[in-house]
Amino acid sequence: MLNKTCLNMSYYKITMRLLYVIVICAIVYPFIKSIKNYSPTKCTVTNYDLTFLFDQNSQTFKVHGLWAEICTECPSCSYPSCCNIKNITYEYPDDPSNFIGNYWFNTTTKEECMGISDVILFEHEYYKHISCTNIGNTTNFLNLMIQLYNKYYVSNVTTNCKGYNQLWINIDQDFNYNNLTCKEPIE
């Protein structure tokens, strides 16, 4: 039969260890969360990811967006989002070729930065990711995406990642090709 004092000490040790873990998590979690949701007021982008999603209806990859991957202001903080959003406004861009309708992944989503529901993916991407760049207004963003699409789609997208849902092209701050990654195999 175990001694009651011995049992009490074991419970005490377990309780103290759990308390220690809880305290450490309470200290570390806000730091980790702040890195995940890194939202600087200034971001000098060193790398971008040009992302595409596979559209089951058209059986082609369509544009998802352009994400600032790394800022020189915090090299260990990846994918800044919702930066300096109080200083930007969204206006649907001049789109005479209907690029958004034809080549952008067609979905609506929640816009996390402004808390707006049911926005087109282009608007969501503008607030969440382009706000962290010096690209400027929505027309500049659209024109850049058309240039990048024309530069990389045929040479990289149509020939790679068959059988995958996502294709990411990593490009540098001058929009030159670094590498390509296929993600999420189609089941």
What pLDDT digit, counting tens, does each position of 136-162 carry? 899 999 999 999 999 999 889 888 999
pLDDT at 4: 56
Q: What is the DSSP letter of 133?
A: S
Are residues 19 and 110 part of one domain? no
Count: domains in the chain:
2
- Neighbouring C-beta atoms of residue 95, cutoff 10 Å: 17
Are residues 20 and 64 part of one domain? no
Are residues 29 and 102 part of one domain? no
Are residues 64 and 95 part of one domain? yes
What range does the domain containing 17 cover?
1-36
Higher-pLDDT residue of 76 and 162 is: 162
CA distances from 158 to 4, 49, 61, 167, 180 (A): 71, 17, 8, 10, 12
Banded model confidence at residue 75, pLDDT cuts 50, 70, 90: confident
- Neighbouring C-beta atoms of residue 101, cutoff 10 Å: 11
Instruction: Give the integer Cα–Cα distance in Å for 94 and 138.
Output: 8
Higher-pLDDT residue of 74 and 104 is: 104
Are residues 104 and 133 part of one domain? yes
Are residues 145 and 123 part of one domain? yes
pLDDT at 27: 47
Higher-pLDDT residue of 13 and 187 is: 187
